[in-house]
Amino acid sequence: MKRELLSMVMVALLLLSVSGSAEEIKNPGDIVYTFPVKAVLFSHYSHVKKASIQCDTCHPAIFKTKALAVESYPDFNMQALYDGKYCGACHNGGYAFSSDTQCARCHIGVKGANMYGEEIGKIKDMSYYMPKNTTVLGEGMYAASFNHNVHNVFECDTCHTSIFSFSYTPGEITMAKISEGKYCGECHNGEMAFASTNCVACHSGLSER
């Protein structure tokens, strides 16, 4: 009996360890800047998951939604940060640790950059931060579903924030506007994606809820 119990525990532990390692996503959405110095790490995980900051706190007012876009700005340097721009908007010693302290907290250097290897310049696994299930916009008969997972072949800046802001205002999106080629209609025009006349593709089954 004792031996059986022991083996059961062992098997359980083994399963736990296997499933644990398989599901682990390590720091999804990391961005490694290599300009003007090599290299600086921005962690979406620390900001979104640990500090619970919403997307629209930074995007697009402080940073464009396109990863690394800020590298092309000539004033993307420490002085700009001290003047309250970019990271310095929060990292001023008030909201977050001041940008003139703890240099190597963000600066991971050449050694850090080498650890990221070919992943530098690519932002991966942002879907980790998106709603996992279908998002329902609107209520009752107007309700429509949207699934980020179906759309995550695109970069964030394909839709945000030129087509959609990060927050949804009820009544903002109407079928009339979509037929005019706005909102979903930008792509769902029958050419790039299925036409917006295909009602049930988004409005199906929601009345049962």
Q: Is 182 helix (H, G, I), strand (E, B) or coil?
A: coil
Q: How far is the CB of 97 from other proteins (least distance, A)?
A: 7
The whole-angstrom separation of Cα 46 and Cα 34 is 20
- Please return the burial class of 39, using the count of CB atoms within 10 Å of its CB with bins 0-12, 13-18 and 19+: buried
Site track 30-49 with other proteins (rule: CB under 8 A), x = hit: -------xx-----------
Verify binding: residue 76, other proteins, rule CB under 8 A.
no
Cα torsion through 115, 121, 124, 127, rounded to 10: 150
Q: How far is the CB of 24 from other proteins (least distance, A)?
A: 17
Give me the phi and psi of 157, to 5 degrees please: -75, 0
Verify binding: residue 51, other proteins, rule CB under 8 A.
no
Q: Considering only residues 82, 109, 129, 138, which one is a binding residue for other proteins as defined by CB under 8 A?
A: 109
The whole-angstrom separation of Cα 88 and Cα 86 is 5
Judge whether 33 and 40 are in contact, CB under 8 Å. yes
Q: How far is the CB of 38 from other proteins (least distance, A)?
A: 6
Verify binding: residue 138, other proteins, rule CB under 8 A.
no
Q: Considering only residues 75, 100, 119, 180, which one is a binding residue for other proteins as defined by CB under 8 A?
A: 100
Verify binding: residue 108, other proteins, rule CB under 8 A.
yes
Q: Provide the binding-site residues for other proteins, judged by CB under 8 A.
A: 37-38, 97, 100, 102-105, 107-112
